[in-house]
Amino acid sequence: MKKIFTYSIVAFLSILCFSSFVKSYLAKPSVLDMSGYILYNEKKVEGALVKLYENNVIVNKMQTKANARFRFMLFSNNEYMIEVSKQGFMDERVYINTKTNADLLDKYFFEFIVDLVDENKYKNVDASSLDFPTAIIKYDAGEDDYVHDKGYSQQVRNDLKKLNEQINKK
């Protein structure tokens, strides 16, 4: 009787471990279809270099065409940075965090606009705060979608307001 109980426990644990392994092995990561446009003074910017970093390594890059559009496929459980550069403009960065505890199996879509800033605009003030990403995008389980970090975006707007005030004083 004791052997039957022991075998039952071992069989149950084996099945449990195997099913967990199969689930994790067969589970596909969710995909975030990330796209956007590069603008300057509300006009499309052709020839901007858009780089995609995954965990601080460049994994893709492209140059915008006349439609100023870029698009990348991002996978769950990674950290990404999109960096936009063009001669005569300040580099812009957007941080995307696809790490989540939620069980994501869907394909998500997120589109945004990157407004370029003339590199001479903040030439005579300390604009080091602009070396950081201008936006953070992350998964929100309550929304079941990717969203801007509103608190961070507000901080960036406040920093830009201070820089513009410094420019106007000079």
Mean pLDDT in residue range 128-140: 92
Closest among 117, 115, 121, 111 to 148, alpha carbons compared: 111
- 3 lies in some domain: no
Identify whether 54 is part of a domain: yes
Which has more confidence, 38 or 143?
A: 38
116: CB partners within 8 A, 6+ apart: 38, 39, 40, 45, 48, 84, 86, 89, 90, 92
On the question of pLDDT at 165 being above 70, the answer is: yes
Confidence band, pLDDT 50/70/90 cuts, at residue 147: very high
Mean pLDDT of the region 134-147:
92
* Predicted confidence band of residue 124 (pLDDT cuts 50, 70, 90): confident
Q: Does residue 20 belong to any structural domain of this protein?
A: no
Q: How confident is the model over 84-88, as a mean pLDDT?
A: 97
How many structural domains comprise the chain?
Answer: 1
Q: Which domain holds residue 133?
A: 28-169
pLDDT at 24: 45
pLDDT, average across residues 120-133: 88
- Report which residue type is found at 29: P
Each residue's pLDDT tens digit, 43-57: 999 999 999 999 899
List the single range of 5-14, 44-53, 79-88 with lowest mean pLDDT: 5-14
Q: What is the pLDDT of residues 21-70, one digit of tens each?
A: 444 444 556 889 999 999 999 999 999 999 999 989 999 999 999 999 99
pLDDT (mean) for 129-142? 91
- In a domain, residue 89? The reply is yes
22 inside domain: no
Q: What pLDDT, on the 0 to 100 scale, is given for residue 15?
A: 61
Q: Does 124 reside within a domain?
A: yes
Task: Say if 10 falls within a structural domain.
Answer: no
101 pLDDT more than 80? no
3-state secondary structure the chain: CHHHHHHHHHHHHHHHHHHHHHHHHHCCCCEEEEEEEEEECCEECCCCEEEEEECCEEEEEEECCCCCEEEEEEECCCEEEEEEECCCECCEEEEEECCCCCCCCCEEEEEEEEECCECCCCCCCCCHHHHCCCEEEEEECCCCEEEECHHHHHHHHHHHHHHHHHHHHC
CATH code assigned at 134: 2.60.40.10
16 within some domain: no
